[in-house]
């Protein structure tokens, strides 16, 4: 798995660091010990903020200023950042089902496409003619792929297309995500949100999609390869048969 190039932003540095840790059980345990209490304190502060925002809106005698919507949007961005961090460092116990990967894609296709439409891009689904069934945790895998789709929808250029395709063979699933085309960069914003709020804060958690997806792949005893240049591409592989390899939870 290739580490993300660190271009100097805080979120890029965090993503780079996490990508180096997610494949090591010992380092994940250390990360959990160091971030667990920090995340708990942040949650307590956020809960206090959420309650204050609720009472302020409920008790307002006149319409609140427009920047208030941005404040609430920023709060949700911080909350999602903590959600992804906790998903990365917490133990993962897979609940396996046996099925075709296309069922997961069909379930998420409309939501992913809507995110890309909001970001001035398109998402193309390229299913195989035939595929074998295999074992995976649909909720866990959906969490990782949702994070990837939402990040790429917010980062895509105007007119750019993303493609997700997959196949089965040699005893494994193989899922490919690649992008092409595009002109000028579009503004970074949460897909589906008409008001941009504070783009830098709202987009800050999105690059955590890579370490989160890598964590999901590690839990499935798989690997993630990716490249950001010249255009983004990610390749996921994990074994079709998991039951005989997952006797204990992933740390």
Q: What gap in Å lies between CA 152 and CA 145, rounded to an integer? A: 11
Q: Cα dist. 206→102, 103, 183 in Å?
A: 25, 25, 21
Residue 1 lies in a domain: no
Peptide bond preceding 61 in cis form (omega within 30 of 0)? no
- Interval 34-81: pLDDT, tens: 887 878 788 888 888 778 877 777 777 778 777 777 777 777 778 888
**Tokens standing for residue 43:** 């949650």
* 3 occurs within a structural domain: no
* pLDDT mean over 191-207: 43
Show the tokens assigned to 129: 């003619």
> How many domains does the chain divide into?
1
User: What are the beta bridge partners of residue 179?
Assistant: 162
CA 60 to each of CA 76, 128, 186, 213: distance values in angstroms, whole numbers, following the listed order: 21, 55, 35, 42
Structural domain span for residue 111: 10-245
**pLDDT given at position 197:** 36
How far apart CA 121 and CA 80 sit, in angstroms, is 23
Q: How far apart are CA 246 and CA 124, in angstroms?
A: 33
Q: Determine, yes or no, domain membership for 250.
A: no
- Is residue 197 situated within a structural domain? yes
pLDDT digits (tens, 9 = 90+) for 92-132: 899 999 999 999 999 999 999 999 998 788 999 999 999 99
Helix %, strand %, coil % for the chain, to 5? Answer: 50, 20, 30
Dist. CA 83–CA 80, nearest whole Å: 5
Query: What's the confidence (pLDDT) of residue 64?
Result: 75
Task: Examine residue 5 and state whether it is found in any structural domain, yes or no.
Answer: no
Quote the pTM value.
Answer: 0.76
Within 10 A of 96 (CB to CB), how many other CB atoms are there? 16
CATH number, domain at 126? 3.30.565.10
193 and 210 Cβ atoms separated by less than 8 Å: no
């Amino acid at each position: 798995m290739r580490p993300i190039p660190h271009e100097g932003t805080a979120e890029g540095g965090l993503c780079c660091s996490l990508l180096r840790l997610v494949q090591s059980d010992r380092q994940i345990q250390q990360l959990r010990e160091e971030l667990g209490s920090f995340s708990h304190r942040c949650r307590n502060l956020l809960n206090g903020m959420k309650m204050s925002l609720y009472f302020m809106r409920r008790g307002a005698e006149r319409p609140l200023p427009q920047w208030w919507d941005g404040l609430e949007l920023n709060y949700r961005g911080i909350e999602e950042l903590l959600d992804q961090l906790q998903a990365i460092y917490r133990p993962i116990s897979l609940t396996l089902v046996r099925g075709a990967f296309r069922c997961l894609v069909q379930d998420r296709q409309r939501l992913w496409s809507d995110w890309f439409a909001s970001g001035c891009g398109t998402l193309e689904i390229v299913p195989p003619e035939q595929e074998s069934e295999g074992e995976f945790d649909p909720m866990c895998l959906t969490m990782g792929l949702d994070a990837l789709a939402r990040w790429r929808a917010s980062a895509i250029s105007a007119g750019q297309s993303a493609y997700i395709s997959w196949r089965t063979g040699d005893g494994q699933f193989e899922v490919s995500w690649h992008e092409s085309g595009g002109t000028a960069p579009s503004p970074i914003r949460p897909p589906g949100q008409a008001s941009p709020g504070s783009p830098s804060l709202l987009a800050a958690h999105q690059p955590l999609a890579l370490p989160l997806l890598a964590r999901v792949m590690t839990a499935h005893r798989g690997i993630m390869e990716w490249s950001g240049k010249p255009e983004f591409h990610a390749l996921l592989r994990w074994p079709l048969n998991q039951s005989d390899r997952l006797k204990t939870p992933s740390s």
